[in-house]
Amino acid sequence: MPDIVRRPFFSIIALVIAIFALAPLWGNDVDLRESLVLAAVYITLASNLNLMLGYTGYVNFGSVVFFGLGGYICVWLVSAHDWPLGWSLLAAGLGVSALAFVFGAGILRLRGHFFALATIGIVEAVQAFASNFDPWGGASGIYLSTEVFAPLGGPRRALWVIYFAMIAVMGLSLYLSYAIKTSKFGLGLLAIGQNEDAAAILGVPTPRYKALVYSASAFLPAIAGGLYFFKSAFIQPTDAFDLTLSTEAIVIAMLGGQGTVTGVAFGAYLYEQLRGYLLTSDTFSHFQLVIAGALLLIIVLFFPSGLMGWLYARFPRLQRVLE
């Protein structure tokens, strides 16, 4: 049994996955399921973003591209080519990862603000591409007929299948974050995040590591996108490539504590709850992004190391158990 499996944190992740999977089953609670499926999407996006932002120190505003492109590839394969959902999801993950590797090798030569700007450019470029690409329905997007849910046992059952698949993707994201953090690859990434030039001089193969982590951080978000848009049975460019989602992922990572696995996941859950509350409240329903912006300001000014930084400062022993 590998060492990582024996550590307590491994079981903590397993427990979180089990709670997510079982909670809505209790009493067949569909509302809870819909809230948790969104939380799982946020946890997936933020955890994978954290590989770039928290570990490697690169601010990626393009995480929504992985999500949206994954959605497009999956929905298109299901609708136009009658692929089964499983293979479509895998193709979405692998395809987007491969694209990220190729693009990454180019734009990761940029650093700091320039990299961040380039990733915003990618969001715009991909959205423009999707809006003008006829096989993907151009600006009006792709609609799925309800027949696509038949292989999963009809729409009602399909929603549960998708839910469990999403929880699996979330769980894999957490384990990926954890496994990378406790690996030699992860140590190399942390070194790059601290001082890229010094890391290269110490022998860290910086261009390859950056391209690899960028590509790895695309895989699970692309699958999550596939599941999400398959579930909606509808995808269009403005939804799929909405910069808001990228920004939210960054806010979440900062809120929880960039570079930590627990903090980012917990931050994503809290953010989803807050967002749900704001969207349904009469007073705040249009203020959700204003609140997110204010939140980011407060974090950056007063809690730069996020929730986990605050917790670790008070309970240093937690650092031995949590990652």
Partner 1 sequence: MSAILELDRVGKRFGGLQAVRDLSFQVREGEIVGLIGPNGAGKSTLFNLVNGVFAPDTGRILFDGADITGAKPYDIARKGLARTHQIVQPLTNLTVVQNCMVGACFGRNNLSLAASRAAAREAVAVAGLEDRADMLALHLTIAGKKRLELARALAAQPRLLLLDEVLAGLNPTEVEHMIGVIRRIRQRGVTIVIIEHLMQAIMNLSDRIVVLSSGAKLAEGLPAEVSQNADVIEAYLGDPKLAAELQGVA
Report the interface residues with partner 1, using CB under 8 A.
Answer: 182-184, 187-188, 190-191, 194-195, 197-206
DSSP notation for 185-228: HHHHHHHHHH-HHHHHHTT--HHHHHHHHHHHHHHHHHHHHHHH
- At 121, the amino acid letter reads G
Residues 6 or more apart whose CB falls under 8 angstroms from that of 126 comprise 65, 68, 69, 241
Kindly tell me which of 35 and 182 has the beta carbon lying closer to partner 1: 182
Kindly tell me which of 128 and 300 has the beta carbon lying closer to partner 1: 300
Beta carbon of residue 179, minimum distance to partner 1 (angstroms, whole number): 12
Beta carbon of residue 184, minimum distance to partner 1 (angstroms, whole number): 4
Residues 6 or more apart whose CB falls under 8 angstroms from that of 298 comprise none
Kindly tell me which of 164 and 175 has the beta carbon lying closer to partner 1: 175
Beta carbon of residue 269, minimum distance to partner 1 (angstroms, whole number): 25
Taking the C-alpha atoms of residue 19 and residue 44, their distance in angstroms, rounded to an integer, is 16
Kindly tell me which of 161 and 187 has the beta carbon lying closer to partner 1: 187
Classify residue 27 by its DSSP letter. G
Kindly tell me which of 68 and 193 has the beta carbon lying closer to partner 1: 193
Taking Cα atoms as reference points, which of 113, 10, 103 lies closest to residue 58?
113
Beta carbon of residue 198, minimum distance to partner 1 (angstroms, whole number): 4
Beta carbon of residue 195, minimum distance to partner 1 (angstroms, whole number): 6
